[in-house]
Amino acid sequence: MNNSNRSACRLLTPVLAAVLYLPCSAIAQLTGNPAGLSPDTPGVNAAKPAADFANTQDKLFVREAALGGRAEIDLGKLAQQKSKTSSVKDFAKRMVDEHGKSSDQLLRLGKNRTELPDGLDPEHKTLRDELNAKPAAEFDQAYLTAQITDHQRTANLLLWELSYGQNEPLRKYAAEQLPVVLDHLEHAKREFSALSMAPPRN
């Protein structure tokens, strides 16, 4: 097991424990989606529901995850243009590349399951405008702060799908993406810490 996987595993245990003990309404507040809805999974009494059926939670997951991935790509491209720090630019490129691949996979899995809006959601449109207006000396810290928040939300969203989703391909996707997102979160925290300890720029 490489260092990234070990780091992800260490993070996963407390995150999973914390989320599993939260009520649905609390998870909804963390993830920014209506996770408090009762699962509408059919076939519960039959003990073996259809693996490819997508319940309400699956559809909401696809929508929220797609919007989150789109924001990561858009903000990553902005950071590649505006950042003056090579390691932050490298982090931003990683976000564009890896979220691009995961978003393509999600769209294939979620095709015809829910209607996906075009462009950024209002929250991330506002964030993009705010970041774009930042002077160079303030951009990196603001970008990384947003990345930490967004990856924490995404980790909670993936756990929510694992807890309440019905569709097995989507649940498998969530399980595969969770350690990746946790590694992104740790990467963002490392960059933020390094930036905080760096001497101020003139």
pLDDT reading at 58 higher than 70:
yes
Lowest mean pLDDT among 24-28, 63-67, 73-77: 24-28
79-111 pLDDT, tens digit each: 999 999 999 999 999 999 999 999 999 989 987
6-29 pLDDT, tens digit each: 454 454 544 444 444 444 444 444
pTM: 0.74
| Domain 3-36+53-197 CATH (choose: 1.10.10.10, 1.20.1260.10, 1.10.4190.10, 1.10.150.450) | 1.20.1260.10
Local confidence band at 1 (pLDDT 50, 70, 90 cut-offs):
low
Structure tokens given for 155: 């980790």
From the number of C-beta atoms within 10 Å of its C-beta (0-12, 13-18, 19+), residue 110 rates as buried
Length of the chain: 202
- Please, what sign has the CA dihedral across residues 49, 53, 54, 56? negative
CA dihedral of residues 158, 193, 96, 142 (deg, nearest 10): 100
- Better-predicted residue by pLDDT, 200 or 173: 173
Domain boundaries, the chain: 3-36+53-197
